[in-house]
Amino acid sequence: MEVSTNPWIWILMILLLFVAYWYLGGPRNLPPGSAGIPILGYLPFLDQFSYKTFKILGQKYGNVFHLYLGSRLVIVLNDYFSIHEAFIKNSDTFSGRPSDNVFKESTTNNLGLTANDGEYWKQHRRFILNYFKNNGYGKLNLEPIILVEKPFCNVINLHGITFLLQDEIDHFIKELKNHVGKSFNIKPLLMHTAGNNICILATGKRFDYNSPEFRLLISTIFSPKLVPFASLNSFFPWLVQLPWSDKILKREKTKKYFDRVNNAVAGVIRSVKHEYVSGQEGNYIHAFMTENHKRKQVNEADDFFSDLSLLHMSRSLILAGIETTSSTLLYCLLYMTLYPEVQKNVQNEIDRVIGHERQPSYDDRMQMIYTEATILEIFRKSCVVPLSIPHRCRKTITIGGHVIPQDVMVIPNIWAIHHDPRLWGDPHTFRPERFIDRGRRIILSEYILPFSLGKRACVGEPLARMEIFLCFVSLLQHFTFVPPIGEELHLESYPGLTIRPKCENICAVLREYPF
């Protein structure tokens, strides 16, 4: 037999082999799904709001399906029951994070909470959740309890976290009063307040909006648009091997960005580190330092709570908490502007339960059924982290009768749950009343998952829920929000990992008292 010397035949054969490998070379017994086209996988067919495409694909492939995004195999969980089976019933198995270039390159050895999934992550997660629990985050009537229980009184323990959040809201309202009656881009102010609430957690105090540390922090965090390059890095991990990968992946720019963020976070840490007195636990940074000392006494080699860890942990909280909370608050105001009758109902409830002479407290929500229902409906509709953060399946397991291979990336489509007509009937209608039982009680739905669920669910949830309630209620106590003259408001968002409203201009009108 003669071997062909025609190079085109060889090129064609290699191409055919590559295509055959692309379609047949992956793991067997995957859930239904699509490999898309060679090299790019299903990426070219995804809408820029990929959660919407996933929802449609769920109708074709079922609620557990696979896709290749670039060369990366991804399993999408597209309904409540599959996500619950994975993240609650098999929470350990699904608590991994993809061991990803993106995480590795943005942190030092995967330090911080979001990227890590080993013993280090477990211990830090437990530590911060305990810190929240012991310091009144998310609880009612805490101030007196804290006062009695805590030997090392500092600002938080004396007055309770509610007091500090209220103080921040006071400053926010004062600032907003400078802009009443005109079109005002409220997003930066919302980011300032969300940023300060995390600083309160970290340092036990708020920062003046004009203080150098705070200005640096806020201005640094959201400057560059690096998400497209992070996605390239994640879905085409082999790009890293190419000689010009640094340029394609903008690695230099990414590195500089994270250096700047580290520098800004270090400034916040420095501002309280020097005030530390041995044994103090009154803010997260001091509690962290005390934990480090305790551990060192037992085992000098234990460096889980090192200075570098403190930097990365604080950074995790700041990066995960500011954009999410400020976007949710912005959606609160946009929905009120677009649904004035809902705004009126919330204000009537505020007037009845709180009045205008005192500040709202977190306890008030027990009597504010309509307001609570409105916030739940905003959580449902806005769903600012629609695909959560990707998980990794730590061992091969069966979900919904489908085999999920070890180490595969798992994406839960939370947006699909929030918009599932089988759960909500009319998912696209904004209707707070769906959460009220015969006008008297809140219907707590397990299908509302803005913070995800299971072992990896958002650690900042207790703080986020408190600040959203207190800020939303305080704002509607003082102002009515209306569309700025000549501007059309809508609820559309930018594409990205988080849903960020495009409309940032709003008009606040001061409410008249007495009402």
Q: Which residues belong to the annotated binding site for heme?
A: 458
Note whether 96 binds ligand HEM by CB under 6 A: no
Distance, in Å, from the CA atom of 189 to the CA atom of 318, rounded to the nearest integer, reads 16
The distance of closest approach from Cβ of residue 247 to ligand HEM in the complex, given in angstroms and rounded to an integer, is 31
The residue type found at 479 is F
Q: Concatenate the DSSP letters of all residues of 76-124 into one string.
A: EE-SHHHHHIIIIITTTTT-B----HHHHHHSSTT-STTT--SHHHHHH
Give dist(CA 348, CA 371) in Å, integer: 10
Residue nearer to ligand HEM on the CB measure, 198 or 417 = 198
Residues in the annotated binding site: 458
Closer Cβ to ligand HEM, 271 or 314, answer by number: 314
Cα dist. 237→69, 106, 245, 417 in Å?
A: 11, 15, 10, 30
Hey, how many other C-beta atoms are within 10 angstroms of the C-beta on 43? 18
Residue 33 binds ligand HEM, judged by CB under 6 A: no
Please state the length of the chain. Answer: 515
Closer CB to ligand HEM, 113 or 146, in the complex:
113
What are the angstrom distances between the C-alpha of 406 and each of 30, 92, 156, 298, 403?
Answer: 12, 13, 44, 36, 9
**328 belongs to the binding site for ligand HEM (CB under 6 A):** yes
Which amino acid type is present at position 494? Answer: Y
Can you read off the two tokens belonging to residue 238? 């082999």
Residue bearing tokens 């091997």: 241
Does 193 sit near ligand HEM (CB under 6 A)?
no
User: Which residue, 417 or 507, has its beta carbon nearer to ligand HEM?
Assistant: 417
d(CA 379, CA 206): 26
Exactly one of 320, 350, 354, 416 binds ligand HEM (CB under 6 A); that residue is: 320
Q: Pick the closer one to ligand HEM by CB: 220 or 328.
A: 328
Give the x-and-dash track for 373-412 against ligand HEM (CB under 6 A): -----------xx--xx-----------------------
Among 460, 469, 471, 507, binds ligand HEM (CB under 6 A): 460
463 binds ligand HEM (CB under 6 A): yes
| Nearest residue to 347 via CA among 239, 467, 228, 479 | 479
Return the residue of 125, 150, 171, 394 that touches ligand HEM, per CB under 6 A.
125
Contact between 262 and ligand HEM by CB under 6 A: the answer reads no
Phi-psi bin for 443: left (phi > 0), alpha (psi -120 to 50), beta? beta
Segment near ligand HEM (CB under 6 A); pick from 52-60, 147-155, 160-168, 317-325: 317-325
466 binds ligand HEM (CB under 6 A): no
Report the nearest approach of ligand HEM to the CB of residue 496 (Å).
Answer: 14
Give the strand pairing for 493-494 and 500-501: antiparallel
C-alpha 199/C-alpha 51 separation (Å) is 32
Distance, CA of 316 to CA of 443 (rounded, Å): 33
Return the residue of 36, 204, 282, 321 that touches ligand HEM, per CB under 6 A: 321
Contact between 287 and ligand HEM by CB under 6 A: the answer reads: no
Part of the chain binding ligand HEM (CB under 6 A), chosen from 23-31, 316-324, 393-401, 415-423: 316-324
Whether residue 514 is preceded by a cis peptide bond, meaning omega within 30 degrees of 0, is yes
The span from the CA of 50 to the CA of 47, in Å, is 5
Q: How far is the CB of 46 from ligand HEM (least distance, A)?
A: 20
459 touching ligand HEM, by CB under 6 A: yes
- Residues that contact ligand HEM, how many (by CB under 6 A): 26
CB of 422 to ligand HEM, least distance (A): 22
Q: In sequence order, what are the beta bridge partners of 402?
A: 399
Binding residues (CB under 6 A) for ligand HEM: these are 113-114, 125, 198, 201, 316-317, 320-321, 324-325, 328, 384-385, 388-389, 450-452, 456-460, 463-464
